[in-house]
Structure 1
Amino acid sequence: MTQIIAVHSFRGGTGKSNLTANLSTALALQGKRVAILDTDLASPGIHVLFDFSLSEGDRCLNDYLQEDVQIRDCVHEVTPDPVRSSKGHIFLLPASLDSDRIARLLREGYQVEKLNDAMFAIADDLKLDFVLVDTHPGINEETLLSAAIADHLIMVMRPDSQDYLGTAVAIEVAQRLDVMNIQLVMNKLPSQFSRDEVRLRMQESYEVSIGAILPLSEDLLTLASGGLAVLEFPNHAWSDAVRDLATVLLESSGD
């Protein structure tokens, strides 16, 4: 059965999209069939991590949400060679980076329920093991609907006072929607911070599982979203933690 994983943060800049792309890759390296929906429609960008761009005539989520286009026509395979060698597959449903199309989407809106329909449709059509939803930051309708049907919600935050407060609000809303499996991920933790103290604060602040604590890394900053850290730096502590999180998700799915 396909597992739906929503990856969310209360604020932008947490590295949510980067985590989504790398977590998808870690799952696919285990031979899984994974799809990513870029539902951060106002500021899409996860496609960059896979070195993918829409060519003329290519369809994207905007076409499905606002035009008479089938969701299957908006799917693009972006499987890197190392993943293909592991028998895994990664499919991407990107959003448009065109400023006119973004403005139109914000101006006219769309039927949010269609996003959920899309998840179930591609899960069946592509025989997926996982669907990862890269959400729009904050508390908004599309995020709430995605979280409500997700098997897992991964909340990404930084060691920042505003993130601590905002994440508490987001988790409370998710719990009211009966999202049971919430994994909290601390990202971009500076080396001068004590991991044990941060973990303790997270445990005291939120009654949810701690999925990973990811270090702030010069290597990842140098990568600058120009690739996937789990492939470019497979022995890095950041990559190890992402693979550990993938293992937790695999085990919870029964694999």
Structure 2
Amino acid sequence: MAEVVLVHSFRGGTGKSNTTANLATTIARTGKRVAVIDTDIQSPGIHVLFGMEQVDSQTTLNQYLWGNCSVEEVAHDVSPDEVKQNGGKVFLLPSSSDAGDITRILHEGYDVRLLKKGFASLIKTLTLDYVFVDSHPGLNEETLLCIAVANTLIVILRPDRQDFQGTAVMVDLAQKLKVPRILMVVNRVMQNSDPEMVRQQLEAKYEVPVVGVLPNCDEMMQLASSDLFSLRYPDHSLTQIYHQVADKVMTT
């Protein structure tokens, strides 16, 4: 059975999409078949990390949610060469970045139950090992559904007081919904911070495993979401942390 991994943050600007894309790719490089679903329909963007500057609005998650096509028809094979060489696959289900489509979603909404149905169909048809869900920040109906069907919830936060308060709400909700596994990743930590101290403080505060403390680095800023960091900088210390987090995700 495939593992459904929801990557979520209470606030925007945490580096959630970058983390999702790099973790999914890292796991796919071990020979796994991985799908990445962009459910951040209001502000999509993870497709850019996989080299899809332009997305055909007819082959997006929006069209599936409006009942215009099957979920498999919007699954794009975006497997990098490094993934293919190891027998893995990465499929991306992007949301539309067309202004009209975003406005329609905001105005009309969609049947969120189709997401759960789509996950099951996608896993079966594409024989997936992992499904990574890149969600819209905060709490809404779609987020609650994704939390409810996830095997693993990865909460991304920054070392920021507003993030701390929102994350407490997220963790409490996930525990009430009985998510089997809740993990935490702290992103954009200052270079002069002690990662182990950050880890210990947050684990004591939330009583949830902190599986990654990601440093703020110039190379990530310079890359500006134009590529997958773990492939562009395979020997970087941040890439090594992505590998460590991926190992934790794959450890059941």
Interval of TM-score (by shorter of Structure 1 and Structure 2): over 0.9
Which 4+ runs in 1 deviate beyond 6 A?
Answer: none
- 2:201 paired with 1:173: no
Alignment of 1:196-235 (within 5 A): 196-235=196-235
Alpha-carbon distance in structure 2 between the residues aligned to 1:247 and 1:47 = 24
Partner in structure 2 of residue 69 of structure 1: 69
Alignment of 1:49-68 (within 5 A): 49-54=49-54, 56=56, 58-68=58-68
Percent identity among equivalent residues? 43
Summarize deviations over 1:63-83 as a string: whole Å, max 9, x none.
Answer: 011132111111110001111
Give the 3-state SS of the residue equivalent to 1:213 in structure 2. strand
**2:40·2:135 contact (CA, 8 Å) conserved in 1?**
yes
- 2:209 paired with 1:240: no
Partner in structure 1 of residue 102 of structure 2: 102
**2:57·2:96 contact (CA, 8 Å) conserved in 1?**
no
Alpha-carbon distance in structure 2 between the residues aligned to 1:40 and 1:55 = 15
Aligned pair count? 252
Give the 3-state SS of the residue equivalent to 1:245 in structure 2. helix
Partner in structure 2 of residue 81 of structure 1: 81
**C-alpha spacing 1:208/1:113, structure 2 compared with 1 (3 Å):** same
Letter in 2 for 1:59: T
Partner in structure 1 of residue 21 of structure 2: 21
**2:212·2:245 contact (CA, 8 Å) conserved in 1?**
yes
Offset, 1:251? 2.2
Summarize deviations over 1:91-139 as a string: whole Å, max 9, x none.
Answer: 0000000011100000000001111111111000000000000011001
Partner in structure 2 of residue 150 of structure 1: 150
Offset, 1:165? 0.8
Alpha-carbon distance in structure 2 between the residues aligned to 1:196 and 1:20 = 23
Unaligned 5+ runs, structure 1: none
TM-score (norm. length: structure 1): 0.96
Alpha-carbon distance in structure 2 between the residues aligned to 1:122 and 1:50 = 19
Alpha-carbon distance in structure 2 between the residues aligned to 1:78 and 1:14 = 24
| Greater displacement, 141-150 / 125-134 | 141-150
Alpha-carbon distance in structure 2 between the residues aligned to 1:142 and 1:216 = 30
Offset, 1:204? 1.7
**C-alpha spacing 1:19/1:55, structure 2 compared with 1 (3 Å):** closer
- 2:189 paired with 1:195: no
Alpha-carbon distance in structure 2 between the residues aligned to 1:199 and 1:55 = 38
Unaligned 5+ runs, structure 2: none
Give the 3-state SS of the residue equivalent to 1:178 in structure 2. coil
Offset, 1:199? 1.4
Alpha-carbon distance in structure 2 between the residues aligned to 1:56 and 1:192 = 43
**C-alpha spacing 1:73/1:54, structure 2 compared with 1 (3 Å):** farther
CA RMSD of aligned residues (A): 1.1
**C-alpha spacing 1:200/1:121, structure 2 compared with 1 (3 Å):** same
TM-score (norm. length: structure 2): 0.97
